[in-house]
Amino acid sequence: MEYTQLIPLAVFGAITLGIWALLTAFTSKDSRASERLDFLKDPRTRPSESDGSNPNSVKGALQKAAPTLSKALQPKTDLEASALKVRLANAGFSSPNAATFYLAIKTGMLIAGLVLGGGVGVVTQGANMEGLTALVIGGGLGFYLPEIVLIVIRKQRMERVFLTMPDALDLLVVCVEAGLGLDAAMRRVSEELAESAPDICSELNMANMQLQMGRPRREVLHDLGVRTGVDDMRSLVAILIQADRFGSSIAQALRVQSDSMRVKRSQMAEEKAQQTAVKMIFPLVLFIFPGIFVVLVGPAAIMMIRNLLNT
């Protein structure tokens, strides 16, 4: 084996060893005194027996390495940090450390993409411009893959919340008209629709928990609309806030919002039904029309070819 063939393997090994050294530095074991000081500064990092988190385990090491990995991608302003938290909340990740873990995952995927892309580029193309292109492509894919996954999860969850809102509103109207207060009605809805609408029930449970902790109802309802990210939920929250402020009937406001949402959902179904004819053009032209054309024109074409050959 020539030395020129060993150069790509040596470069790949050097990159891998460098990444391993960085991860080892991030997850290095601290002294017991440093760990106790970290627990005192942030009680949320204290391990508990219920979740089984241990600083010396893999999960504990990842939790300790997450702040360091995410430091380079931390938002520079409070507005950017708030926007990131809202996007994660819309996708269902409402924990306080969700942004830190998300940015740590992006950094880890970037490093993994660089290692994988660089290794593939160096092994297949060598240490040249093509290998550098593979390195850049791998890093870009690794960096933007968590963003794409977050967009998909966020869109699917918002759609599920929107589709289950009319049913939840109908049950909420029944509970309020039966004499329950808004807090008790929300709790009852979250219990009844826990299996069919888990996303909206989890948001209602969180709102109930915040109300029990003493937060003002206006702030709790506003956060509910922001966490879901659905426009209809924001409209419902605005109506409930106004009804609570001016003392109007909450049941009537809920009924009006439920009727409007049901009409909107029926209009969306009619719109999709009208779009069916246009969307069917492409399958017809690409798949069905060629088969029909062969069946109808094929025999005539064969007869014409035979007549031309005989003449």
The overall average pLDDT reported for the chain is: 79
What residues does each domain of the chain span?
Answer: 159-265
Of the two residues 62 and 303, the one the predictor is more confident about is 303
pLDDT greater than 60 at residue 141:
yes
pLDDT number for residue 97: 84
pLDDT number for residue 57: 52
Which tens digit of pLDDT belongs to each residue from 240-279? Answer: 888 878 777 788 878 888 888 888 888 888 888 888 888 8
Residues in Cβ contact with 160 at an 8 Å cutoff, skipping those fewer than 6 apart? 197, 199, 200
Q: What are phi and psi of 42, to 5 degrees?
A: -135, 95
pLDDT greater than 70 at residue 134:
yes
CA atoms in the 13 A half-sphere facing the CB of 47: 14
Q: Long-range contacts of range 114-123, CB-CB < 8 Å, 24 or more positions apart?
A: 114/15, 114/19, 114/138, 114/139, 114/142, 115/15, 115/16, 115/19, 116/142, 117/141, 117/142, 118/11, 118/12, 118/15, 119/12, 119/15, 119/16, 122/8, 122/9, 122/11, 122/12, 123/8, 123/9, 123/12
Among residues of the chain, what percentage have pLDDT more than 90?
Answer: 4
Q: How far is CA 227 from CA 123, 147, 203, 257, in A?
A: 46, 18, 8, 19
pLDDT number for residue 52: 45
Q: For 151-155, what is the mean pLDDT? A: 92
pLDDT greater than 80 at residue 195:
yes
Which tens digit of pLDDT belongs to each residue from 28-58? Answer: 445 556 666 666 665 555 554 444 445 555 4
Q: For 116-141, what is the mean pLDDT? A: 77
Q: What are phi and psi of 196, to 5 degrees?
A: -85, -30
Buried b (16+ CB within 10 A) or exposed e, 169-201: bbbbbebbeeebebeebbbbbbeebeeebebbb
Which tens digit of pLDDT belongs to each residue from 220-247? Answer: 888 888 888 888 888 888 888 888 787 7
pLDDT number for residue 51: 46
Extract the tokens encoding 119: 């290794």
pLDDT number for residue 152: 92
Query: In 10 A of CB 232, how many CB atoms?
Result: 19
pLDDT number for residue 61: 60
pLDDT number for residue 237: 87
Q: For 293-299, what is the mean pLDDT? A: 84
Among residues of the chain, what percentage have pLDDT more than 70?
Answer: 78
pLDDT greater than 80 at residue 212:
yes
Query: In 10 A of CB 122, how many CB atoms?
Result: 25
Residue 23's pLDDT band, with cuts at 50, 70 and 90, is: low
- pTM here is 0.70
Tokens 């508990």 belong to residue: 48
Of the two residues 88 and 63, the one the predictor is more confident about is 88
Residue 284's pLDDT band, with cuts at 50, 70 and 90, is: confident
pLDDT number for residue 304: 85
**What CA–CA distance (Å, rounded) separates 278 from 284?**
10
Of the two residues 308 and 65, the one the predictor is more confident about is 308
